[in-house]
Amino acid sequence: MSLNKSIGQMYEWITHTCNPIRGKCYHDCVYCQVKKSRVKYLYQREPRLADSFFKKGLGKGKTIFMGSCFDLFAESIKTQWIERIFNRCLKFDNIYLFQTKNPHRFHELRKIGLPTNAIYGTTIETTYNRLSRAISKAPDVLERYAEFMAMSKVHRKMVSLEPLLDFSLPTMIAWMEIISPEFISIGADSKGNKLPEPPAGKVKELIQELKKFTQVRIKHNLSRILK
């Protein structure tokens, strides 16, 4: 395990990334950047905890994406592992991003206590279940929406609309307003996966409507669609 400085590949507001679990992510998203990265060999075996995570410090004053290459909250991951990761994070004065395509686990983990020095996020690429099922083995987007919507308002929440696929404009606006995240990050496919993307006009209208009730953070890779 290593704490890596982030140079904007994921989010501009993240200062560091860290991956305390290595191995194959069974969500197996077709657009997964790890599959094409130079460290893909680390994520091809059965999931395992990186022992070095518990030996090295995390410093302070950082904003760390914990699990940038692996969904820490996939059903295959042991609750005891996540609890150990949470406890380790609490020893250091940082802000942590915990983002998942399986927000149901957040509800399960409330029993052991969710760290308060964290932002909790989920990914919603589309409003159409048929599209989400075609690109990932993760829970479909309707389930993600329902589970994340029910998450307590005492926790900081964000939503990632990336890679943004075609969607129902009224449904997406309604979902985001009901979830009421602190902010929404919107990005596009940046690896040429030929995904079914929305037209520029629909994306611009979505951004305009979302700004009426939350902060919208637009990623650079979205410019390709917005042209």
Please check the confidence at residue 146 and state whether its pLDDT lies above 80.
yes
pLDDT in tens, 76-120: 999 999 999 999 999 999 999 999 999 999 988 988 899 999 999
Q: Tell me the domain boundaries of the chain.
A: 4-226
Residue 1's pLDDT band, with cuts at 50, 70 and 90, is low
Q: What is the CATH number of domain 4-226?
A: 3.20.20.70
Position 190, amino acid: S
CA nearest to 89, candidates 16, 24, 181: 16
Cβ neighbours of 22 (radius 10 Å): 20
Residue 49's pLDDT band, with cuts at 50, 70 and 90, is very high
Percent of the chain residues topping a pLDDT of 90: 74
What would the mean pLDDT of 176-181 be, rounded to a whole number? 97
Higher pLDDT, 77 or 154: 77
Kind plus residue range of the DSSP H or E element containing 144: helix 141-149
What would the mean pLDDT of 135-148 be, rounded to a whole number? 96
Please check the confidence at residue 24 and state whether its pLDDT lies above 60.
yes
**Token pair listed for 167:** 């969607």
